[in-house]
Chain A
């Protein structure tokens, strides 16, 4: 017999009420845990993928869409830009590096990106097997793509038109896998990379109804070669003041600043996130009230039990501890269930929801703020139990027993 089993025996006596209180707290905590987990990871993915990219230049349209499409590969592109105009931008003195991206095709839902070797290098990607592409129709798979499709070096596959699965197949022009990238934790993991010429060849030649023969040479001379976007790094921080304005006003292109668009996006999302967070806190407060009410009513029924314990030698402090322990046990159980529920829900979201899959979100990670959350939950249990515990402390045993 000890205080723990004593408190536990009372919780077990009322399984439904106990379960209700535990669940209430668990739901509140789970809501906040999901927010913490997803928020942290989204923020992490957003910044990691945009690292070192000062500016994105693409076709006119929504700047946010341009950023989402070209950095995160989550949205449809705003359109394409002629190579000639792009080259003027790339050769500008303000630009240290410009990585061209050409989109349009996909393979089983993974985008095929025509680009240069600078793109994987920008994210510090290492080749896990084979080499980077050199010739047309050679492709390199991101780690996730390789793992999910099971393709490996030497295999061939056919891309499809469009950026989502289910488009028309380029059956006649299969791509050959020449390399696999090691996991980078960036958007590269779920991309198929190939040379810009390959994308042009696939599109230009199909449109013309001819066979590309042996490669870039033929396609490179076609008119209407286009990029989808340029990822630009400035040569000097000075450029950020003037260069975007220059592009937007002096050319037919659009320049979007990732840092600005991301903060705009998080501000937009922020309202929703705040609302959900408030809801989670509301649930926790409701749980605290639930614990408070449960313990207070229990105290009415248990005043004789408590007086009996005093008669048997329990001190007032011990009774107070007994009631506090019950509150803490409830909140600890709620915390454990809540954390499990929160991580489980985040994992389910990460696995089931397409947008979350694209972000590579998982529930099985730990955010430091969860530690504070656990402390908060235990504090909630303590505070909720404090008034009933003080009542137990102050109870007049002789009066209770005489009345009994």
Chain B
């Protein structure tokens, strides 16, 4: 829990544009909290977060929402696509909510990239788990964010799938020149990242 007791106390660290970082830690160590703070979903009780030269703490709520929508893409473990919208509509939601022009060509491009071209008109519950996750990645990269965050993207996958998802994340991040930060407790993936932060296990349970 965050709030009065700090769960996470990190020294200053800097990630250069385009780098790939892994945040490694056991569950409860604050990985998700860190990711939320980096993504501007949560404000740190102390300290500052600077993303793409913008101090997130200096932004008011609405401006922070907009900044996040435009410059930060987040891939969640459960990729909660909106169940009432088709794949294409889910992807168009990203530019719409971020106040960017809704570029259908970009939707096709992203879907082609993720091998989902023929599923544009499908609803989320008509997709396989793997397809849903790919749509989740597609949505995160729709607006060509500067920072791509992924929370436990491989935890529930077998070795083959986990490798494939990482491949996709690397490829997409590279395609748009985004910095990639992935959190995981999954040690299988650590050798693929050149840099990592290891979070200490929770102080007490």
List residues of chain A with CB under 8 Å of any chain B CB: 1-2, 5-6, 9-10, 12-13, 304-305, 308-318, 397-398, 401-402, 404
What are the residues of chain B within 8 A of A304 when measuring CB–CB?
80
What are the residues of chain A within 8 A of B78 when measuring CB–CB?
404
| Of the residues A13, A308, A313, A404, contact of B84 by C-beta under 8 Å | A13
Nearest B residue to A10 by beta-carbon distance?
B84
Instruction: State A398–B45 Cα separation when bound (angstroms).
Output: 14
Instruction: Kindly name the residue among A304, A312, A318 whose own CB sees the greatest number of chain B CB atoms within 10 A.
Output: A312
Dominant secondary structure at the B interface = helix
Instruction: Kindly name the residue among A1, A12, A310, A315 whose own CB sees the greatest number of chain B CB atoms within 10 A.
Output: A1
List residues of chain B with CB under 8 Å of any chain A CB: 32-33, 36, 39, 41-42, 61-62, 65-66, 68-70, 74, 76, 78, 80, 82-85, 89, 92-94, 96-99, 102, 139
What are the residues of chain B within 8 A of A317 when measuring CB–CB?
62
Judging by beta carbons under 8 Å apart, are A311 and B74 in contact? yes
Judging by beta carbons under 8 Å apart, are B99 and A313 in contact? yes
For the complex formed, measure the closest distance between the CB of A301 and the CB atoms of chain B, giving whole angstroms.
9
Judging by beta carbons under 8 Å apart, are A1 and B69 in contact? no
What are the residues of chain B within 8 A of A401 when measuring CB–CB?
32, 36, 41, 76
Judging by beta carbons under 8 Å apart, are B41 and A398 in contact? yes
11 A–B contacts, CB within 8 A, in A order? A1-B93, A6-B85, A9-B85, A305-B82, A308-B80, A309-B93, A313-B97, A313-B98, A316-B62, A398-B36, A402-B33
For the complex formed, measure the closest distance between the CB of B155 and the CB atoms of chain A, giving whole angstroms.
14
Instruction: State A398–B39 Cα separation when bound (angstroms).
Output: 10
How many contacts between A and B, using CB within 8 angstroms?
76
Judging by beta carbons under 8 Å apart, are A310 and B92 in contact? no
For the complex formed, measure the closest distance between the CB of A303 and the CB atoms of chain B, giving whole angstroms.
10
For the complex formed, measure the closest distance between the CB of B16 and the CB atoms of chain A, giving whole angstroms.
24
For the complex formed, measure the closest distance between the CB of A54 and the CB atoms of chain B, giving whole angstroms.
67
Q: A315-B66, A316-B62, A402-B33 are in contact. Are A305 and B80 (CB under 8 A)?
A: yes
Instruction: State A308–B135 Cα separation when bound (angstroms).
Output: 14
Instruction: State A261–B30 Cα separation when bound (angstroms).
Output: 82
What are the residues of chain B within 8 A of A6 when measuring CB–CB?
82, 85, 93
Judging by beta carbons under 8 Å apart, are A312 and B80 in contact? no
| Of the residues A308, A313, A404, contact of B82 by C-beta under 8 Å | A308
For the complex formed, measure the closest distance between the CB of A141 and the CB atoms of chain B, giving whole angstroms.
62
For the complex formed, measure the closest distance between the CB of A204 and the CB atoms of chain B, giving whole angstroms.
80
For the complex formed, measure the closest distance between the CB of A393 and the CB atoms of chain B, giving whole angstroms.
11
Judging by beta carbons under 8 Å apart, are B83 and A313 in contact? no
Q: A1-B89, A398-B42, A401-B41 are in contact. Are A309 and B97 (CB under 8 A)?
A: yes
Instruction: State A309–B93 Cα separation when bound (angstroms).
Output: 8
Q: A311-B41, A313-B66, A404-B80 are in contact. Are A318 and B97 (CB under 8 A)?
A: yes
Instruction: State A398–B64 Cα separation when bound (angstroms).
Output: 14
Nearest A residue to B100 by beta-carbon distance?
A313
Judging by beta carbons under 8 Å apart, are B84 and A1 in contact? no
What are the residues of chain B within 8 A of A311 when measuring CB–CB?
39, 41, 68-69, 74
Judging by beta carbons under 8 Å apart, are B94 and A312 in contact? yes
What are the residues of chain B within 8 A of A312 when measuring CB–CB?
69, 93-94, 97-98, 139
Judging by beta carbons under 8 Å apart, are A315 and B98 in contact? no
What are the residues of chain B within 8 A of A2 when measuring CB–CB?
96
